[in-house]
Amino acid sequence: MSALIDPRRVLDAPLVSSEQTTRRDFLKISGVMGGGLMLAAAVPGWTQTTPQLVGGGDLNAYVQIKPDGSIVIYSGSPEMGQGIATSLPMIVAEEMGADWADVVVQQTPEVNTERYGRQSTGGSYTVYLNWQLMREMGASAREMLISAAAIVMELPRDELQAEDSRVRHLFSNRSRSFAELASLAQDQPIPAKADLVFRAREDYRIIGTSKSQVDSFDIVTGQGDFGIDTRVPNMLYGSYTKCPAVGGKIVEANIEDIKTLPGVVDAYIVRGNGNVRELLDGVGIVGTSTWAVFTARKALQIRWDESQASKDSWTDFAEFAEKQGDTGAAVLFEQGDVDTALQDPSNTVISSFYEYPYLTHLCLEPMNCTAHFQPGKAGVKDHLEMWLPTQSGPGFKTLAQQRYGLDADQLSIHVKRMGGSFGRRTSGEYMCEAIELSKLSGRPVKLTWSREDSMRHDYFREGGFCRLRGAMTADGKLAAWEEHTIGTAVGSEPSRWTGVRAGSFPLATSAHARGSLTTFRMDTPSGPWRAPFSNTHAFVSQCFIHELAEAAGRDHVELLIEMMGEPRWLEPGNFRAMNTGRAVGVIKLAAEKGGWGRPMPAGRGLGIAFYFCHAAHVAELAEVSVDDEGKVTVHKVTAAVDVGPIINRSGALNQVQGSIIDGYSAMAGQKITMENGRIQQTNLDQYPVLRIDAAPQVDVHFIESDFDPTGLGEPGLPPLAPAVANAMFVATGRRVRAMPLFDQGFSV
Amino acid sequence: MPKFSITVNGADAQVDAPDDMPLLWALRDLMGLTGSKYGCGIGQCGACTVHLNGAPVRSCLLPVGQVSGQAITTIEGLADGDALHALQQAWIEKDVAQCGYCQSGQIMSAAALLQSNPEPTDADIDAAMAGNYCRCGTYIRIREAIHAAAMSVDAAAAK
């Protein structure tokens, strides 16, 4: 059993190497085609490469000014709907003094972490990890443009200012456009990083405003360039059919019959390496359309050897969990003296058992990849070109290189916009399957997973259970907190998406607290699903705090604030840890803006929840009614959020509203179960999703503190379920301790 | 293989396809119109919504053989030349999309709604749009954008 689980390690694990990213002196400059200005960022990559300072003409670039005045700003991070392709370039444009109307954002043209930095996204980390680099790129560009203007205009540098894509003289109406200055600017000395001065917040003209996503036009006109839209010459369409119980091996399949079907070009039995994140056994079919291969696969008859395949049963897991006691075998966190407080007869002690199901990612764009493997000829090496929707181009590139024995220069990867990801596209098996089909057919192949493939072969948000105990003193203070998670183990190791997190609330703030874990072996793969761990822990912990408040006759908001204690960082020196002062700030703001304490008519209630994750402090207050038939209506959710300064106000608001609606969708109807290793729900008719008619009003209030900005793709989601469940208790007197609501006799 | 004549976005098109191929795949794979999306294949998500003779249909379930000789409009044909449809303009101004994958289907459903009901209420919108799923949860902005488009059409008509 592992020792204390470090939350940052767990959070980082899928997307960030253990190697710390330390920035080196990074700025170089060179001429580029068209006389543009190109600035290069040499930062250590996400992969385990040795960072090098760039030099010579082969430089990376974030900023390029074209002769026509357009300013190309590269987006290095993949876009999956989190808005990063808009927000990061806004930071660059701000520091440059660019007019946003002149900015053209382009995806970095290759995967190359030495040139572009991290090029991965996830964990709501991307703004945080790129904030300083983007400011440096913008500020450096600005200083070089000012140096060029000083020469051209024969004026001292300190009398010049960059604004609206021009360098202006402060004491006259003279100015020069960036386009006029670009070719001279590229020859100017590169400012030392230490000399860079950044704009003051009060002077911001772009950061903090609302910008429509840079791809909005393409999206609304049907030109959005998603991976699944890839079309390349001579391309075949592919499908890949795996054992419905993960881990099954092929004994035989009727591929000769399949090859005769209309539109089928070829079919193959593919032997995998047994690694679920690389290549499992399957039958590949390539043909002249997606429909041809989807139709042909229905005629497949495959005999599977399931001796080593998953036998998972949700029913068995649930039965096991219900038998578990108050404290698990592995105590992963303990402080103070929990048992004394729990045994003190003057304290009120309550205990509850919570349940949350497996969930699928349900990215609306199914998994897909287009691969073109070209075998080498005399003197020419093999080459692999891919059109790849992924959260991590570098991670997938490394996998392809290792698995197929390729050097970096033998791959060309086009990172495509993703139709949602939520943590899903961090696992590269769909890429490996596409490569196999291209190698076997000798042609470019677009592999498209069906919806059923995408639901059945997911890396699920794992389900689990939690038994909680709490003690309240006679005067209504929290005396002890205990949580026992019954989670999953893959083989003998606990899943990294379950367990106990030392920095979580309220374990970390409670004087007497214990967290323990018991695991049950499940072979169903699990992975990060929007706010992993937090999306379940918030539900169990923040509902149970409300239960304790009720048991002690305390006001829930007052109790939450009391539990926070003095304003402080829970991990001194780590500003990504929770700060109890920021927590109190959002709790008070949500309560005030949502009208906490208002009288409610019968059948209607207010519920609140706070949660801290991904460096974000978020409180949400839900106003909910439940009618006699159990129909739940969430009228309004009021959210208070502290992630520091907001970069793109429109995008930030959209993320919080969307997270809340997504969280409600999951809470209301979604549940994946499995029996004999087979996933039971394989399409939307078996997996209800929230529709527009049930979407609540969502009011969002940001506390724009002075800490560096952090991300918003995930932290708006976790507090929603407990806020709604707490409000349902107030409305009905009935405590919801299991999701989804549809299983508890409710509808929406 | 049968050859079908279909009017797509105002132009006559010939499609060689088995008659049971859903229109969605004929559009995407045979005609290169990839704006209509595959989401579920069972008519539950609405990402594949197109107009058949002006009415919204789920192209993932509609066999191409059944639309021979009829008029299809996809998201690529919604704008009038360079002039965006009021909904497309509103979608940009309200910054509706997150991942954007469902939005062409959302817009096509909304366009059919405005065609029959130029001033929809929230309830009208909810009823007309309930077949279009958005995993990112952009429903609040979808409502706002439909109202904004309805008002802009009104304002244009009043001039």
**What are A690-716's pLDDT values in tens digits?**
999 999 999 999 999 988 899 999 999
pLDDT number for residue A612: 97
Measured in angstroms, the CA of A214 and the nearest CA of chain B are apart by: 10
pLDDT number for residue A2: 32
Beta pairing partners, A392: A120
Examine the pLDDT at A182 and tell me if it is beyond 80: yes
Which two structure tokens, joined as six digits, stand for A439?
């190698």
Interface test with A, best of B25, B38, B94 (most A CBs within 10 A): B38
**AA identity, residue B82:** D
CA of residue A36 relative to chain centroid, distance: 35
Cβ within 8 Å, pair B98-A83: yes
pLDDT number for residue A17: 25
* pLDDT over 70 percentage in chain A: 92
Interface test with B, best of A216, A220, A234, A657 (most B CBs within 10 A): A220
Measured in angstroms, the CA of B158 and the nearest CA of chain A are apart by: 26
Mean pLDDT of chain A: 90
Mean pLDDT computed over A298-304: 98
CATH numbers and ranges of domains, chain B:
3-77 (3.10.20.30), 86-158 (1.10.150.120)
- Within 8 A of A658 by CB-CB distance, chain B residues are 98, 136-138
Examine the pLDDT at A407 and tell me if it is beyond 60: yes
- Within 8 A of A262 by CB-CB distance, chain B residues are 1, 18
**AA identity, residue B51:** H
Examine the pLDDT at A388 and tell me if it is beyond 90: yes
Which of A112, A107, A98 is CA-nearest to residue A52?
A: A112
User: Cα(A360)–Cα(A39) distance, rounded to whole angstroms?
Assistant: 42
Cβ within 8 Å, pair B103-A220: yes
pLDDT number for residue A27: 31
Question: Confidence band (pLDDT; 50, 70, 90) for A261?
Answer: very high
Q: Which SS3 state, helix, strand or coil, does residue A126 take?
A: helix
* pLDDT per position as a tens digit, A85-125: 999 999 999 999 999 999 999 998 899 888 788 899 988 88
Per-residue pLDDT of chain B (159 residues; tens, 9 = 90+): 789 999 999 999 999 999 999 999 999 999 999 999 999 999 999 999 999 999 999 999 999 999 999 999 999 999 999 999 999 999 999 999 999 999 999 999 999 999 999 999 999 999 999 999 999 999 999 999 999 999 998 787 776
- Within 8 A of A215 by CB-CB distance, chain B residues are 97, 100
- The pTM for the full model equals 0.93
Burial label, A581 (beta-carbon count in 10 A; 0-12, 13-18, 19+): middle
Question: Confidence band (pLDDT; 50, 70, 90) for A45?
Answer: very low
Examine the pLDDT at A59 and tell me if it is beyond 50: no
CA of residue A388 relative to chain centroid, distance: 17
Cβ within 8 Å, pair B95-A210: yes
Q: Which of A2-16, A49-63, A108-122 has the lowest mean pLDDT?
A: A2-16
Question: Confidence band (pLDDT; 50, 70, 90) for A670?
Answer: very high
Which two structure tokens, joined as six digits, stand for A251?
């004994």
User: Cα(A110)–Cα(A712) distance, rounded to whole angstroms?
Assistant: 26
Is the ipTM beyond the 0.95 threshold? yes
pLDDT number for residue A61: 60
Nearest residue on chain A to B123, judged by CA atoms?
A693
User: Cα(A7)–Cα(B11) distance, rounded to whole angstroms?
Assistant: 58
